[in-house]
Amino acid sequence: MGGEGGRNDDFTLTNLSRADNGADGITGEGGAAGAAGSSGLEGDDGQRGIAIYNEGTVKTGGGNDTIDALEGGFGGGGKYFLGWGRDTVKGFGDGYFDGGWGRDKLVLPGQEEDYDITWGRRKDIFEQDGMTLTAKSFETVEFLG
């Protein structure tokens, strides 16, 4: 899989710079995968147990996109912009997530009381164990606990 995603691509995060319009999916499971900057992948970044490691920017474009890091979570503090559509982000970890336009859902492991949550008008902040997930433009937050 190269750097550009096309319509309705699914990515197991092994090489991604930008996905385009369509129902894109990014899935990470345990292990170590990393996207440095907004293009390319560095491969094994040495981050143990992190499913999706991103220090840059991931833009999925329009469509019903899913970014799934339930098994291992997010690392690197990167930014994720999901564009228009019914998008879903699954998992917790350091990062900034903008659901964009549409009915978007954030799915977090555990229960609501497991997090220190700041609900805001423009963004919501979820903190746990020294990690911070900032979410903007998500209409639904679901806890799997």
| Cα–Cα dist 28/12, whole Å | 6
Task: Report CA Rg, the chain.
Answer: 14
pLDDT at 21: 60
91-112: pLDDT as tens digits: 999 999 999 999 999 999 999 9
pLDDT at 28: 67
What pTM did the predictor assign?
A: 0.74
| Cα–Cα dist 25/19, whole Å | 9
If one compares 107 and 26, the residue with the highest pLDDT of the two is 107
Enumerate the domain spans of the chain: 10-143
Contacts of 107 (CB under 8 A, 6+ apart): 70, 88, 89, 90, 91, 142, 144
